[in-house]
Amino acid sequence: MPIDHRPGNDPVADHLRRMGDSVHELSARIARLATTLRVDLENEADLERVLHIDAVRVPVPDRRVTPDRRAASRASMSPDRRQAHLREELRGLLVLRYGVARSYVNRVGVDATRHIVVATHEQLVREGFKPGAAGASLRRLFDTD
Q: What is the pLDDT of residues 1-49, one digit of tens each?
A: 444 455 567 888 888 899 999 999 999 999 999 999 999 988 888 888 8
Name the residue range of residue 64's domain: 12-68+81-142
Amino acid occupying residue 48: E
In a domain, 95, yes or no: yes
In a domain, 37, yes or no: yes
In a domain, 4, yes or no: no
Q: Number of folded domains in the chain?
A: 1
In a domain, 59, yes or no: yes
131 alpha-carbon distance from chain centroid: 15
In a domain, 62, yes or no: yes
Which of 133, 108, 109, 140 is CA-nearest to residue 38?
133
In a domain, 138, yes or no: yes
Mean pLDDT of the chain: 80
Provide the pLDDT for residue 6.
Answer: 54
Provide the pLDDT for residue 7.
Answer: 55
Percent of the chain's residues with pLDDT above 70? 72
In a domain, 92, yes or no: yes
In a domain, 30, yes or no: yes
Total residue count of the chain as it appears in this document: 145
